[in-house]
Structure formats: structure tokens, C-alpha cells
Amino acid sequence: MGWYHLSFKKDLTAIVKTDGPKDTEFIHPSVPKWIINLKPDDLYKEPDSPPRISVAPSVWQCVAGFGRAEGNPIGTVYIYEVHTPIIARRSFNSVETVITDEQWITDDIIHEKIPIAQIGYMVIDKIFLEIKKVSHSEAVLHYMKSIDERETIWSIQDEKFGEKQWELNLDAFNEILHQ
């Protein structure tokens, strides 16, 4: 099984420990700022929030969990394949985990570094966020997990300099929503 990660940072090459080298090509586990700022009784408060890098088994599942509490950021997001067989499962149970199959890469499983490869990018805009909202039904997400997403819901375009832009195939996506 492969793993994917989304980031606003471009040209990353590896995941390193929290106290690892601070080169701009590396990403480090961290506790998301939005979690640190939550009140104890907040719906999204996580009982155990270790520094981590969130990954999911498909790009769509990354999208489903991306930006939920950050206010759904808009902009260019880079798509990375994560090359590791070892993943640490979330330490708490939430509705979102059922949807995203999100797992965490934490310091305790990073030996030296975990290679990642940028495979493309997507532009998240207001229309994209509306589509994302509609897709959170259990039936749609169950179906999404069973398909080859690169062949079905994404239109992957070659861009200049070898970068690939991933766009939602709206016709295919609309068909899935109305099954």
C-alpha cells in the first residue's frame, strides 16, 4: 500500500525527526497549530496530539482530511508519495479517521529520514471545497476507497517543467455522487 501527503510546501524530499536538519527540503513532524489553540471542550480536541506527519492511502482521502479545522485553506497544494512501509496509527478514534484512513508518521518510526516524492499539485479553490463537502457521505467515501482514483476521479495534466496538475474530473465525480 502506498501513502500520500499534501503540503503547501514545494520540493520536499524527505521526512526527518522533529529535531532533525532544518533544510527547506525536509518536513518535520509537528502538532498542527489549530490543535494547540483549541479549548479543552472543543469538538476536535484530540486527547493525545504528538508531533506527526499525516498520511492517507489515497490522494482523495488526504483531500477529505485536509484543512478541516484550518478554515479550509485555498491555494496550491503539492502531492507527495511517501515511501515507507511503517506507519503509526492515530491514537484516538474520530469520525474523520473512518473517512480518511489517516495515519501518522511520528518521530519514533523515523530512523534517519523517510523519502518522499512530489508527484504533482492541485489548486484548491472555493468550488473544490464545496465538492469536498458534498462527498463526505459514507456511501460516496466507501465507493471512493474501492476505485483506482487516478483512472476515475482525477484528470492529471502534464504541465511545463514536468509537474503534473491534478484536477477533479467533475463528470466522473458527479456520477459517483449520484450512484
> pLDDT tens digits, residue range 110-167?
988 999 999 999 888 776 766 666 665 555 666 666 667 777 777 787 765 567 888 8
Q: Starting at the edge strand that comes first in sequence, how are the strands of the sheet with 53-55 ordered?
A: 53-55, 103-105, 88-89
- Spatial distance between the Cα atoms of 126 and 72, rounded to a whole number of angstroms: 9
Report the pLDDT value the prediction gives residue 137, as an integer from 0 to 100. Answer: 58
Q: What is the DSSP string of 69-98?
A: TTT---EEEEEEEE--S--EEPSS--HHHH
Question: Ranked by mean pLDDT, which of 13-27, 79-93, 135-149 comes out on top?
Answer: 13-27
- Spatial distance between the Cα atoms of 23 and 147, rounded to a whole number of angstroms: 37
51 close to 28: Cβ distance less than 8 angstroms: yes
Choose between 1 and 107: higher pLDDT.
107
Lowest-confidence pick of 4-8, 38-42, 88-92, 150-154: 38-42
Residue 59: closest CA among 100, 103, 115: 100
pLDDT of 68 higher than 70 = no
H-assigned helices in 2-125: 33-36, 59-65, 95-100
Handedness of CA 152, 173, 161, 80 (dihedral sign): negative
Cell representation of residue 116 = 518522499
104 close to 52: Cβ distance less than 8 angstroms: yes
pLDDT of 94 higher than 60 = no
Residue 81: partners with Cβ closer than 8 Å, 6 or more residues away: 2, 3, 4, 116, 117, 119
Choose between 26 and 170: higher pLDDT.
26
Question: Ranked by mean pLDDT, which of 27-36, 54-63, 90-99 comes out on top?
Answer: 54-63
pLDDT of 12 higher than 90 = yes
- Could you give the 3-state DSSP secondary structure of residue 169? coil
What's the mean pLDDT when you consider all of the chain?
76
Q: Give this prediction's pTM.
A: 0.77
Choose between 140 and 42: higher pLDDT.
140
Report the pLDDT value the prediction gives residue 146, as an integer from 0 to 100. Answer: 65
Helix (H) or strand (E) holding 163: none
Q: How many CB atoms lie within 10 A of CB 174?
A: 12
